[in-house]
Structures are given as C-alpha cells and as structure tokens.
Chains A and B, each alone.
Chain A
Amino acid sequence: ETGVTQTPRHLVMGMTNKKSLKCEQHLGHNAMYWYKQSAKKPLELMFVYSLEERVENNSVPSRFSPECPNSSHLFLHLHTLQPEDSALYLCASSLRGGGEQYFGPGTRLTVT
C-alpha cells in the first residue's frame, strides 16, 4: 500500500450505532488530519494530530472522538450520530509544521 488509505469507503449507520473510521499513511509523515465535506460546503478541518498529540479540535461535537495511536494510524470513533453528520470524511497526512498535505480516498458516511 502506498499513500493514504481509508476504510471503510462507504458506511451506513443508524443513530444509535457505534462505528469507527480508520486511516493509515505510508508516507513517513508525522501529522494527520480529519476533514469533513458536506454537500455544497467547503472542506472543514475537524482534528489535527502532530507527533501523535492532538493540537486542534475545531469545535467538533463530542459524538466524534479521534484517536491517534502512532504516527501512521488515525481513527475517528463515531457514536450517537445525527442525520446531518452524513458527509464525506477525509483523512490527510503531512510533515508537521505546515508541509504538503496528502489525502486519502475518503469514507462516505450516511446516518439513517
């Protein structure tokens, strides 16, 4: 595998479910990101991890819980989501300090 991978690619979940999104980067980077892209809206940064430490939480509701166990892996744990949370969730990685960001293919999430 090369680049940034994300699983699953598609996810349908009910409002009472708990699920997790996974991201893995194979680029030797040390910063990782979660973005949300809703229909007809710009990409919104959700979380930033730099050297496995969360450095940004962009006012994201607590029903989204990130986890970064090491510099290559990033998770987004989801629970009690709302239908308006349906969106494309994109993971990215870079070298810390503002390096070029590379994106994964995204997880298209539908909350029913």
Chain B
Amino acid sequence: GIQVEQSPPDLILQEGANSTLRCNFSDSVNNLQWFHQNPWGQLINLFYIPSGTKQNGRLSATTVATERYSLLYISSSQTTDSGVYFCAVPTQGGSEKLVFGKGTKLTVNP
C-alpha cells in the first residue's frame, strides 16, 4: 500500500522563526490533507491540497503531485503553533481510507 513519510520527526523553534515540514508519499494521489493536532488531541484541518499552493494566514502549503511530496510552511511561528502536524493521503483515488504519516512534533518556545 501507499507509504507516507514526514520529516523532520521533531522540530524546536523560537517564537518568530519560520519552518518547513515535508510529506513524501510513495504513489500518485488525488488529494492530500494537512492537520494540526493540538495538545488536547483535536485534529484541526489546515489544508486540503491535491496540487498547487494554498495560503491561510501565516501558513501555506504546496503539493507537487508529480514528484510525490507536499510542503507545509509556517512563518513567524507562535507558541500556539506547537503540536503535531500530520499529512494524510487516500489509499487510492476516490477512496475514503486515509493513510497518515507519523507526524512532525513542533515545539515553539517563547
């Protein structure tokens, strides 16, 4: 089945720094989701981005489907950005089954 790898596994930043998180996937996909899991366990939708670039405030994401990767950019990080960031892709086109990466744990220090 499709494999999803995220890097780095852990990231520690000072408040105000920028960062890039990467998600690689082993097969072609027709959609990709980025999530932020806060310290209470809630998974918050960040982007639904099968291809191209989207921006939402300080966050943006780019998916290059032909090269099988997606990047999540966080600019001017804040302590509230701390948590685990997951990417997820369907097992096959049109499938409701998502495969998640192991996540990147981000810690933003004041």
- Taking Cβ atoms with an 8 Å cutoff, the residues of A that contact B are 31, 33, 37, 42-43, 45, 48, 50, 55-56, 88, 90, 92, 94, 96-98, 100-103, 105-106, 108
Contacts and interface: CB of A to CB of B under 8 A. Distances in A.
B100 A42 contact: yes
Interface in B25-63: 30-31, 33, 35, 40-43, 45, 48
Interface of B: 30-31, 33, 35, 40-43, 45, 48, 86, 88, 90, 93-98, 100-103
A97 B42 CA distance: 24
Contact of B96 (A96, A106, A108): A96
20 contacts: A33-B96, A42-B101, A42-B102, A43-B88, A43-B100, A48-B97, A50-B96, A92-B43, A97-B94, A97-B96, A98-B90, A98-B95, A98-B96, A101-B88, A103-B35, A103-B42, A103-B45, A105-B40, A106-B42, A106-B43
A34 B106 CA distance: 26
A108 B101 CA distance: 21
Contacts of A98: 30-31, 90, 93-96
